[in-house]
A and B are shown apart, each in its own frame.
Chain A
Amino acid sequence: MNKRKGMAIVIVLSLSMFLLVLGLSYLRSVSQVSRSNPHRLKQVQAEFFARGIQKLAVLKFKALPADFYHAFRYKIEDEKTPRNKDLPVFSPAPMQDFVGAAGTVLQGEEDLSDPIPILNYTTEYRVNSSKKFDHDMIDIIVNVAMQDFSQSYRVTYDASRSLVLPTP
């Protein structure tokens, strides 16, 4: 009979322990959500900023299409191995000047992202050409770096070319 003495306390302590574990696991799940929210905000901020920079890159392409195609064609030829001996050397490369130096509007211009804490961003152009149809797909890739977070955003534009014949 002495064995039954103190059983109530043991049962209550076990029950309390179970409730404590339950409560702590609930608190843990809540704190995980709290941690993911600021990360989600960073993702949203980086994506909207990248979308804006992609539009700026399109504006540059639309304003200077001939310069873009010449610089890009030169880049392709310049990167071939063995290099074409007749190809003149330009330094910095025309395509490098087209995308801009560090600190310019497409390449991490300071204050452009204020008040969003973006550490740096870069922009690249790529062309997927289909000569048969005289049709280009232009990829614009914006890489955004924030604290503890970096992401690349790609958009593809259909850049078909057409020749407007002069009227007689």
Chain B
Amino acid sequence: MRISSATVNSHKSGMSLIEIMIAFAILVVSAFSISGLISFGHRGTEKDFRSVLAIQLLEEKLNLFLSTSFNKVSDEVMSGATKMNVDKTLFSGTTHEIQLGSITEGKTNYQVSATLEKIPVSFGVRPLEIDQSYEFAKVETYRFGALNNKLARFDGSNNGKNRYRVIKVTMMVKWTEPVVNVEKQIQAVSFLVDLES
């Protein structure tokens, strides 16, 4: 029996069907794994983007609050209250407008709110006891008394004469992470101080 050389070559050369199928299976498995990895990364990027937007909102709203006059916030927003929560637009229609409450940035809805609290503050100092020997230019003549914490009090005492001059502003931004449905929030604190009077 004679076998032609062409028949022998067709068995030996090129790739077998099994080899191609194994290679294809490996390619499919690896392609799915990589696409899963990229999709995971993309979800992470979107999550970070939502956090960045939240931080930007926090900065913007707190900056607006701190550039507002103390008396305007104290009289028009708090009007006698010592602590309150604000989650709606303030000073609407004016140049000082601060939009709070529900704000949509991109596909995400953020809830922005602020807690305002008048805080009592008193500063201590060793007052100078001035006698006949005192001269401003001669430090040797200075006589300091004992520490006194009542010379500068801004705590609403003395029938309101020592009025509050500091408002603690706590700004909060909340949003819900899609898919996992987890609520996230970030906060920052600063102080609105009456330096006008």
Binding site for B on A (CB under 8 A): 1-2, 4-9, 11-13, 15-16, 19-20, 22-24, 26-27, 30-31, 33-34, 37, 40-41, 44-45, 48-49, 51-53, 55-56, 58-60, 62-64, 66-67, 70-71, 73-74, 77, 84, 86-88, 90, 94, 97-98, 100-101, 104-105, 112-116
Contact = CB atoms under 8 A, between A and B. Distances in A.
Interface residues of B, number: 65
Given A5-B19, A37-B52, A97 B124 contact: yes
Contacts of B59: 44, 48
Contacts of B152: 60, 63-64
B195 A44 contact: no
Interface of B: 9, 12-16, 19-20, 22-24, 26-27, 30-31, 33-34, 37-38, 40-41, 44-45, 47-48, 51-52, 55, 58-59, 62, 66, 119, 121-128, 139-140, 142-144, 147, 151-152, 154, 165-166, 168-170, 186-195
B191 A52 contact: yes
Nearest to B66: A51
Given A24-B37, A97-B125, A74 B188 contact: no
A4 B164 CA distance: 87
Contact of B26 (A12, A30, A45): A12
Given A41-B186, A59-B193, A9 B45 contact: no
B30 A20 contact: yes
A4 B15 contact: yes
Contacts of A12: 23-24, 26-27, 30
B189 A37 contact: no
Nearest to B50: A37
A15 B143 CA distance: 84
Nearest to B152: A63
B147 A59 contact: no
B5 to A, nearest CB: 12
Contacts of A9: 19, 22-23, 26
